[in-house]
Amino acid sequence: MQPQDLILLQCDSDVAQSLISALSSAFRSVHHVRSLDELRTSIAKHRATIAILDIENATLRDVEHLAREFPGASIVCTHRCADEEMWTAALSAGASDLVHPSDTRGIVQAALKNGVGSRIAAA
């Protein structure tokens, strides 16, 4: 299976750098964006199959719109205060997973698992 392109919207620069380092070895390219508009543009431009979105900088409605706009892309959300209710709400909005932003390993695993699933489903 070919490596995939991934788009990362994470406003905390330290967390973003940590994730970019961890994700770069598993994906063909990792593009860091700073806004929801940049995220949309980058998903389309790079035909990304995975978006990692800090939902502290977006709403669940934004997640829902992204899931409809890019049905072939998996959306892995991060949030510092994730709980069962937020996890359920994010999944209902179209996210593939919700992970704490400091859980780099969990984010990489979610991106790999959900990226593979989206490519298989799209095939």
Q: How does pLDDT run across 59-118, given as a tens digit for each residue?
A: 999 999 999 999 989 999 998 886 788 889 999 999 999 999 889 889 888 888 876 544
Q: What is the pLDDT of residue 50?
A: 93
Does residue 36 surpass a pLDDT of 90?
yes
Q: What is the CA radius of gyration of the chain?
A: 13
Does residue 121 surpass a pLDDT of 80?
no
Give the DSSP per-residue string, 60-98.
HHHHHHHHHH-TTSEEEEE-TT--HHHHHHHHHHT-SEE
Q: Does residue 3 contact residue 88 with C-beta atoms inside 8 Å?
A: no
Interval 43-70 mean pLDDT = 93
Q: Does the structural domain 5-122 have CATH classification 3.40.50.2300? A: yes
Q: Tell me how many helices (H) and strands (E) the chain has.
A: 5, 5
Q: What is the pLDDT of residue 82?
A: 67
Task: Show Cβ contacts of residue 18 under 8 Å, excluding neighbours closer than 6 positions.
Answer: 104
